[in-house]
Structure 1
Amino acid sequence: MTSSANDLHEASTLAPRTALLAMDFQHGIADRFTGTGVLERAREAVEAARAAGIPVVWVRVAFRPGYPEIAPTSGFAGIAERAGDNGMTEDSPATALHEALAPRPDEPVVVKRRISAFTGSDLEVLLRGLQAESLVLAGISTSGVVLSTLRQAADLDFRLTVLADACADPDEEVHRVLTQKVFSRQATVTTVGEWTAGISRA
């Protein structure tokens, strides 16, 4: 077992029931939210999770060269066309995680192929290996990866928390409705400050 694997399993032993999912904080998406504060709040959540021994799992969306995973009927077809031949590949700068939220070497990065963090990825296998039963969600956009992942995670029987101010959406009203009226049906919705205060007291 490598040292990074040892570190990962040690983290899961410290906090076997909770994992923080930091989703789609990659340049092609996150750069549109510079100055909104969402990257800073997400970084606060990541740092607090690390300090508490809670595993941080990173999620990004990317594809193989030529985009063989994207059918013409996929919602990603138009996005990929606009991005060009290499704009959304796994090695593209646009799909690289934002340097403001760089993962540590021992933190896994999951590559997904659709909007939900679970679709086309090994996320569920990884979370079961970490013994995670509760997930804390942060990501952009609120109406994209956060909504889709929350719905699927709820169906998989995970307990859920959404960090509302570590999520953002191009439409602020959509973000408000989701975080204030929709997500609370399946998750605890809170702020980074409230969540970090709670885990620091635990």
Structure 2
Amino acid sequence: MPALIIIDMQEDFVLPHGSLCIQGAKDTVPRIREVLDGFRQRALPIFHVVRSYRADGVDVEWPREQAFRKGHHAVVPGTPGARIVSELAPRPNEYVVTKKRFSAFMHTELDLLLRRLHIRELAVCGTQLPVCVRCSVFDAIALDYRVTLIADGTSAQTEAIAEANRFDMANIGTRCLNAADYLSQLAGA
């Protein structure tokens, strides 16, 4: 049984007025929604992974401290930018996991929850591909999960960056499929 992992699809990253909008993130919402609907129809586990920092920034990772202090990164609980975009809003039976670092696995309950649910396969999508998605995929592989990257459900600042990261992920055993191909395989399983 697979689980869906949706990473950082919050207003600050996705919407054009977001404090750290990722080019192309908004364009991935329909593909992610297709996969999300497919998981919902099959009652499969869904995890929304979100980035969240304390208002004073004491828990921000060092490469982002300066930008955070200048107000360029406002994923703080209670702020509009911290919300998951409305098209992908979690339902009550879906899991929301908060992370403070790039990887969805580092110092979070994600691995524990997946193991308690006996999950060994993950479909991963979200933003940003070369940072949070990539770190999460690499950690998932290191933890022995079988990972499929929903290629058209991820975004990066440029297509060249996205292509290089998909190449690297494929070379460590990650399957890279578009949403339609993944859903077709899911339907046949």
Q: TM-score by structure 1 length? A: 0.84
1:4-153 correspondence runs (5 A): 17-31=1-15, 32=21, 33=23, 37-70=27-60, 74-83=62-71, 87-153=74-140
Tell which deviates more after alignment, 25-34 or 94-103: 25-34
RMSD over aligned Cα atoms: 1.8
Tell which deviates more after alignment, 133-142 or 33-42: 33-42
More helix by share: 1
The amino acid that maps onto 1:113 is K
Give a deviation string over 1:152-196, Cα, whole Å, max 9, x none.
Answer: 1111111110000000101221101222x2111221110100011
Q: What residue is the counterpart of 1:182 in the other structure?
A: 168
Q: TM-score by structure 2 length? A: 0.89
Q: What residue is the counterpart of 1:5 in the other structure?
A: none
Bigger Rg over Cα: 1
Structure 1: runs of 5 or more not aligned: 1-16
Structure 2: runs of 5 or more not aligned: 16-20
The amino acid that maps onto 1:59 is V
Q: Is the 8 A contact 2:103 2:136 kept in 1?
A: yes
Q: Is the 8 A contact 1:52 1:200 kept in 2?
A: no
Structure 1 residues 36 and 92: CA distance shift in structure 2, 3 A = closer
Q: What residue is the counterpart of 2:18 in the other structure?
A: none
Deviation of 1:65 after TM superposition, in Å, equals: 2.5
Deviation of 1:35 after TM superposition, in Å, equals: 8.0
Give a deviation string over 1:91-150, Cα, whole Å, max 9, x none.
Answer: 221111011111111101111001111123211111112211111100101101111001
Q: What residue is the counterpart of 2:158 in the other structure?
A: 171
The question of 1:162 aligning with 2:157 is answered no
1:185-196 correspondence runs (5 A): 185=171, 186-196=173-183
